[in-house]
Amino acid sequence: MLNNRDANTPDQVIEQYLLALEKKDKHLMLQLVPGSYAADQAAEDKIDQFGGYKIQERQVNYIKPKTVFLIANVKGLYVNSDGVRKKFEDRLTIAYEGGGFLQSYQGRWCLLLGKGNVPPPEVQSAEPQTAPLKKSR
């Protein structure tokens, strides 16, 4: 299913990321991040913010600003230590690294977390794209 530092599909990236949060497992999360990224602190920050809770009633909305990037808006609910249901919202950048067929979203996908050598994609809108994106020249 998972390679050394990536996942086979964007959905697998999200699943492993949420599992890493639930288990407070920084190393599981870092398996998704390219080696060129300094993500230790970012992973710790995410775990401090959301860790230890099972995210339920998940909804993932993908925005495709560029062919090889997806922005995943993840929403759900969790029950905090006081037994109160809380909203969970997170926004993740997922990148395609090859090794498969981009059209079917199969291949090597990774989580861009922390600071890396690749600039984050520019996002025009937080709304899902319903029409094909126009290529800029």
Neighbours of 120 (CB within 10 A): 12
Domain ranges, ordered by start, for the chain: 10-111
Tracing tokens 């996002």 back to the chain, one arrives at 123
CATH class as words, domain 10-111? alpha beta
Mean pLDDT, the chain, rounded, equals 80
Per-residue pLDDT tens for 4-13? 567 888 999 9
> Which residues, in sequence order, are CB contacts of 88 under 8 Å at separation 6+?
50, 53, 55, 74, 75, 76, 77, 78
| pLDDT recorded at residue 101 | 56
What global pTM score does this model have?
0.75
Would you say residue 100 has pLDDT above 60?
Answer: no
Greater model confidence, 108 or 92? 92
